[in-house]
Amino acid sequence: MTKRQIAHLIREQRPEPPEGYEAKIERALDGLMREEQAMKRRYKVSTLLLAAALVVLALAGAALAASELKLFSAPHGSLVSSEGIEDRVLTGLGSAENELAQLTVEEALYDGKTIAMLISVAPQNPEKDAILGYADSWLDTKDVYNVDIRETENGGTQLSLLGRRDGKRIITCGARLLVNGEEVEEMAADSSEDEEGREQIWLRYALEAFEDDPVIHCELRSAVGVWDDYAGRQWLSVSFDLARVQDERTFMIVPMGDAKGERFEILRGYLTFARAMTYMTLDYSYIQAPEEDMGIDLRLFNGDGERIDAHSGEQIELVGNDWRLIDEMEAVEEIPETIILEAKVIGEDRTLGRVTCRLVETDSIDLPDAPEPETPHLTYLTPKGSWVSDRMRLLFVDIHETTGLVIVTFTCDGAETAEKIRFTLLDADGQPVELKYMLDSEGNPAGQYALLDPYDGYYKVFTEVRDSSALSGQIGIEARIEGEETPLARFEGVVTNAFSATGDLNKAVLVALPVDPNLVFTVGDDLCYHTRPNCGQFGLSYAPMGVTLAEAVNMGKTACPRCCEDAE
């Protein structure tokens, strides 16, 4: 069957919508049109009356801001800064209810990137029902709940909620925010129950970038239902518009004098001061020292040396050979003229230096894009000799040139062996290759854990070498059971860069990969690439059969499903 015939069949056999579908769409359209008519009627109020109403509303808002705002009073500390923006908080944004509970969006603030809000969920029958603490906060209130605590087989603790001590029925609620129809990420949450039995929930969401629109349309959805009746949950939804507090200012970070400290250098960066948050994007280079297992933390101070605290988990990306830090911090009352960036070794009371920078106001942020990783960043070990021993079989060894990540895939005679197995990589001279941070206090390889890949049924060990250039030519890989003198097995292989191999790509990959003649590879046509350097997925799982390297590269690439799916 030709491709053209298949394409024809796809069109010919298109499924028809089920009965009732067209009527459903008509009803939806009808509802929208009616709603629009109602809106139009409302807008026919005379300008004078409308203006008067707005004045009254504004006054009401101001009165509430002065005395009753709760947005900045989350039980464990405000999720956003509050200085000078109380009057920008919108209140009474709407509510929805069903027979179990009423959802109300009480207060909200939007600064172009961050949305902070306070919502409440109140039981309709507080004598009989109670709302379950949001985001597992019930774990902190064991005096209210009956909780079963058990030790698990692997030494962990399992907590199970059994019910409320006062016998009330438990109602659960959730919270999801859609902005202009797209779900946004919840960055922080806090909650508490007030004296009337209402669950008050403080939420902070972040858009991916500053939104240009002065007004965003929000929809807050909450699945409300009886705790042990999962299927019976119903969605409550409140829609509202949020006007942006549009007075953020962006500054370029310009180092004054030397931009370097000990093994780090500030390359470029921007700070955006908004009313609810301060946002920083900073590119820097850093050479890790052996004792700096966790790397460095770049901390921000104003010119007077006062720390500007970070609000949420930072995000660090690899940009070429350098690093990009994306961080959110508390808002500042006064924008400083200069700032200080301090590089502190994580886990130690030691700094690598401080760089003083001045801030230059700018209209735009101009940072180089994080480049697509170059394709030849993964190499493989081609077996030299047998990779099969009495108790184990080595399947693949993947080496990530940029980060030094090494993934060893193997099978062995049981889970117990797999758990205790440790690998040492030996360079061309037979010397152990230094691992980046997988050494115990005595300098022995540690921190290697065999993970069973549920998909393939193989074990994988992830480890990192300090200098991947040590892994070239013929290298050895030694497997040892922890605590035993004699190695379990020792294998040898030649480091092979599949992409630099000449000739037939298929051969290059298949030579590098299969060591077990009984192992069947599905030969598909996916040529994977990665957007995240530390993704453990194979770079080239399956290569096209019988094409040359040049042809394969030209035919396009398929994003790695593990690390690239979200990006798409």
Partner 1 sequence: MDALPTEERKALFAETVREREKSLYRVALVMLRRNADAEDAVCDAVEAAWRHIDRLRDDRALPAYLMTCTVNACKNALRRRRRERPVDDLALYAGAADSPVPVWGYLMGLPEKYRLPLALRYGEDMPVEEIARALRLPRGTVSTRLSRGLKILRAQMEKEVEGRD
Residues that bind partner 1 (CB under 8 A): 1, 3, 6-11, 13-18, 21-22, 24-25, 28-29, 32-33, 36, 39-40, 43, 176, 178, 180-183, 217, 223, 230, 524-525, 555-556, 558, 568
Torsional sign, CA 48, 49, 54, 59: positive
User: How far apart, in whole angstroms, are the C-alpha atoms of residue 228 and residue 175?
Assistant: 18
> Tokens 């901390």 identify what position?
299
Report, in Å, the least distance between residue 393 CB and partner 1.
31
Instruction: Rank residues 224 and 412 by Cβ distance to partner 1 and give the closer one.
Output: 224
Q: CA-to-CA distance for 542 and 278, rounded, in angstroms?
A: 45
Query: Could you give the CA distance from residue 123 to residue 357 in angstroms, rounded to a whole number?
Result: 53
The label of the residue with tokens 């799982």 reads 541
The two tokens of residue 372 are 């697509």
Identify which of residues 461 and 540 has a Cβ nearer to partner 1 in the complex: 540
Residue number with CB closer to partner 1 (15 or 517): 15
Cβ proximity to partner 1, 490 vs 557, nearer residue: 557
Comparison of 3 and 150: residue with beta carbon closer to partner 1: 3
Q: What's the angle, vertex CA 196, arms to CA 186 and CA 66, rounded to 5? A: 70
Between 21 and 521, CB nearer to partner 1: 21
Tell me whether residue 37 or residue 141 sits nearer to partner 1 (CB atom).
37
Are residues 201 and 209 in contact, defined by beta-carbon separation less than 8 angstroms? no
Shortest distance, position 455 Cβ to partner 1, whole Å: 15
Maximum separation of any 2 CA atoms in the chain, in Å: 92
Min dist. Cβ of residue 148 to partner 1 (A): 23
Q: Cβ 14 to partner 1, closest distance in Å?
A: 5
CB 196 within 8 A of CB 216: no
Minimum separation from the CB atom of position 7 to partner 1 (A): 4
Residue located via tokens 């735009």 = 364
State the nearest-atom distance from the C-beta of 427 to partner 1, in Å.
Answer: 40
Residue closer to partner 1 (CB basis): 18 or 473 = 18
Of residues 279 and 538, the one with the C-beta less far from partner 1: 538
Minimal distance, residue 25 CB to partner 1, in Å:
5
Distance, CA of 516 to CA of 388 (rounded, Å): 8
Tally of CB atoms within 10 A around 310: 17
Residue that has been written with the tokens 């009746």 in this structure: 229
Q: How far apart are the first and last CA of the chain?
A: 32
Judged by beta carbon, residue 206 or residue 394, the one nearer partner 1 is 206
SS3 state of residue 348: coil
Rounded distance, CA 248 to CA 243, Å? 14
Neighbours of 432 (CB within 10 A): 14
Local structure of residue 465 (DSSP, 8 states) = B
User: What b/e sequence results for 444-454 when a residue is b if at least 16 CB atoms lie within 10 Å of its CB, and e otherwise?
Assistant: ebbebebeeee
CB of 536 to partner 1, least distance (A): 20
Angle value at C-alpha 482, between 417 and 477, nearest 5 degrees: 85
The H or E element that residue 56 is part of is helix 47-67
State whether the Cα torsion 70-107-280-371 is positive or negative.
positive
Report yes or no: 461 and 407 within 8 Å, Cβ to Cβ: yes
C-beta closer to partner 1: residue 338 or 375 = 375
Tell me how far, at minimum, the Cβ of 18 lies from partner 1, in Å.
Answer: 5
Query: In the bound complex, what is the minimum distance in angstroms from residue 181's beta carbon to partner 1?
Result: 4
Q: CB 314 → partner 1: shortest distance, Å?
A: 24
Instruction: Provide, rounded to whole angstroms, the least separation between the CB of residue 364 and partner 1.
Output: 22
Q: Find all residues with CB under 8 Å of 457, minimum gap 6, and list them.
A: 411
**Cα angle at 499 between 497 and 500, to 5 degrees?**
70
Number of residues in the chain: 568
Pick the closer one to partner 1 by CB: 255 or 544: 544
- Nearest Cα neighbor of 245 from 336, 153, 113 is 113
Report in angstroms how near the CB of residue 446 gets to partner 1 at its nearest: 35
Q: Which is nearer to partner 1, 42 or 150 (CB)?
A: 42
